Structures are given as C-alpha cells and as structure tokens.
Structure 1
C-alpha cells in the first residue's frame, strides 16, 4: 500500500449543473468543498454548459472562475461552426466529437490537431466519444498532440493496450480504471508517467479513484507521478 503525498491533481472534472442530476459541483463553492473533502489540491475543470450545450457559452463561464485551485479547460470544436482557430492560452483542452457532431479525423479536426500540437496543448478525449481506430489515426498524425484518454475501463483494455503500445503520445486517466490492479498493470507496462489521476466527477464517482490513489501497489515515486506530477508536467507544456 502506498500513501500518496500532495499535490493531488484531478485532471478530469466538470463544473456546473448537469442536465440529469443535482450535484454539489453545480457551482464553484460546491466543487471546492468536494475537493477539500477528498483532499484533492487542484482540479482541471470543463464547464457543463460546454459539454452538454454550446461550448462557447461554457468556455465563457470558465472566465468567471476565481479559485486558483480550479484550472479552466475549454472545450473546442473545429471548423467554421466551431469555437474558432486555436491560438493557445490553455495548456489543456477537451474534445467531444460525438457529443458535438464532428469527425475527429476530418479535415477541420486535422487542422485543429496540428494547431494543438504546435502550441504544446494536451487534449482530454473520452473513450466513448471516439472509436479505437479514430484514436489511432489521430495519434498517428505528424505532429500529434498529446492525448489523455479518459473513461477507459475493463472492456477497453485490449484496444487501449494496443494504442498505448503504438503511440507514446497517448496517456490515460484513472477515472474508470477500477478493476483489480488495472492502474498498476498500465503503470508497470507503459510507465507511471503515462497515467494521470482523474475522477470524471460528477458524472462518475470521485471517492473511488481517490481511495485507489491512496492504496496503489506501486513505488512511492510512481504514485506521486500519478497523483499530480504527471498532470503538472503536462500543464507546464513538458512531454
């Protein structure tokens, strides 16, 4: 059992009201209280409006975030009907191609991917938003942005392993890697530097991944990387 020291950085969290549930993180004070309860020092947050509504509205809401523990993550949509050309300004962004109705391998997406790669921006991409083949094609582009795959789990492990073997620019978060020693297996095979603590909350549970972090059967250095070191490295623009 490994006891994780701070900082703990949740790479994958949502701020704002959900359309199907009443959640504590519907506003900034509620989300900060949840982070304090679970001993999470920093959270990278998208706004619920950006995921479930118009990304431009949700991204605008992030401009009102005042607590330094919350790091805004804009949601981007490529093309003339999207959020506009990416010129940088945030080290981490999220893409929701299925939710927002665009192709991750289309010409507009390829242009956006090149912009993200050039600016050193890391991408959050949920497993249920893409196919494994789309991830492969996106990661095989040159240059390719760094991609953190979220929402993977037991049923995705074989395809995930194939992708991680092929593409060193791919990372994974812990939100749904809740099976026995799944996080340890990925860290031992691919290196702890490619695993980031993330909860996916409030859509998915936050207490489970947080408890898992404190009970990882890994060397203390590896657990510290997963807890927050890797996230801070990517947020600073380092590979």
Structure 2
C-alpha cells in the first residue's frame, strides 16, 4: 500500500522548532511514520511571499505544491503543477471573487486540483457553484465541521476531503461510505497538526482494503496523473 500525504508543510513555521524545518528533516519524519511521499507546500510561500517560490530539493518523494494567488498582484499558475494551494486568509483575497473565479476556471481547464482550508464554507460553495469542474480538496476541516463538510460534499461532486483533522469517531468511515472512498485522501497537515494520529488512523480504518488503499495513496496518485 502506497501512503502519500496530500497536505504537508516543509520549512520553518511560526509555532515552533519542527523536524520538518528543512527537507532532510521532513524526509526523516516520513520514514519514521512509513509515509512514502508527500505533497508539500513551503512555509515561505504559505506565510510570506508565494511570488518568490522558495527552493525545494529535487527529491522524488516530495511533490511541490505552489501557493497561487489570483489577480494582478498575484501569481501565475505553474504550467506543470497538478496540485496547488489557495490561501485566501493568509494572502488576503476573496476566494469566490472575480479574480478567484478566473483562476479557478484556469485550474479546472488544466485539470489542476486546489487544496483549500475549510475556513469559509459559503465562499467554497460559491466557488464550486461558479466552477463546478474544479477539483477541490478541503484540508484541515476540523472534527467539528462535519455538517458543513457534508453540505458541501452533498452538492458538489468534485469536492474531496483530507483526513488531517477528520478525527472524530468513525468520521473517515462515514464520509467514505456516504460519498465514496475516492473522495477521501490521506493528509496530516503536519507540522501544524499531528501526523502520527492520522497515520495510525489509516492503519485501523474499518473499511474494505481496496478503499483504504485509495485513501492512503491511490486518490492522490490519480490527481497527480
């Protein structure tokens, strides 16, 4: 079973000294938890300047996830990116505003998936309504957001979710059984959130083995082509 973390940060973070402050430390953490690869956003792009596109070592286990910002003061969408991250709170833009919709259409046309934190369910609903072909993976949803998550997934077939904070009792099983395992992706959100918990959870899901394999890495590999 291939295990791929769809939601990981590399680089120093404001909350403390973390092992993944550099790529070598991150790879050691992946080894420790038996995670084969990770889609990573650089903390410099996330918290400081996505235009600078901080360097990341060329390692086949690390898939770069650029932070993209819509509008004339934003970034271009990298032509090779299969997964990007939209951070409206960190970079102060309206997710479903005119510029956001234009970028979402470009992403959809290219078959690029957007990672988006579930901070504003209304904005995500408006964006998914305007651009229904855009594949969205909701990350860091929080275990209390199941109602908001279910409402979005009921209406929008291209919305998926990661397991980073989907940690309530049998929550992953409930989502997979209701919407299909193809819409659930293993993610940790580390180092801002715990990585050992979601990894342990993955090994103990009460789901068919084929569904667990999809969640563990199969769905991410499909998004990456």
Question: TM class, shorter-chain normalised?
Answer: over 0.9
Structure 1 residue 87: deviation in Å?
5.3
Structure 1 residue 19: deviation in Å?
2.0
Structure 1 residue ranges, 4+ long, deviating more than 3 angstroms after superposition: none
Contact 1:122 1:146 in 2 (8 A): yes
Match of 1:68 among 60, 66, 74: 60
SS at match of 1:45: strand
Structure 1 residue 154: deviation in Å?
2.7
Structure 2 runs not aligned, ≥5 long: none
Q: Write the deviation string for residues 86-135 of structure 1: whole angstroms up to 9, x where unpaired.
A: 2521100000001110001111111100100000000000113xx11111
Q: Which residue of 2 aligns with 1:158?
A: 147
Structure 1 runs not aligned, ≥5 long: 1-5
Match of 1:192 among 181, 185, 198: 181
Contact 2:12 2:18 in 1 (8 A): yes
Counterparts of 2:142 and 2:71, CA distance in 1: 31
Structure 1 residue 171: deviation in Å?
0.1
SS at match of 1:68: coil
1:117 aligns with 2:108: yes
Q: Which residue of 2 aligns with 1:127?
A: 118
Contact 2:3 2:34 in 1 (8 A): yes
User: In angstroms, what is the RMSD of aligned CA positions?
Assistant: 1.0
Taking structure 2 as the reference length, the TM-score comes to 0.97
Counterparts of 2:89 and 2:158, CA distance in 1: 22
Match of 1:50 among 45, 55, 61: 45
Contact 2:132 2:158 in 1 (8 A): no
Structure 1 residue 8: deviation in Å?
0.2
Counterparts of 1:22 and 1:60, CA distance in 2: 19
Alignment coverage as a number of residue pairs: 225
Taking structure 1 as the reference length, the TM-score comes to 0.92
Q: Which residue of 1 aligns with 2:8?
A: 13
Q: Which residue of 1 aligns with 2:192?
A: 203
SS at match of 1:111: helix
Structure 1 residue 83: deviation in Å?
1.0
Contact 2:163 2:188 in 1 (8 A): yes
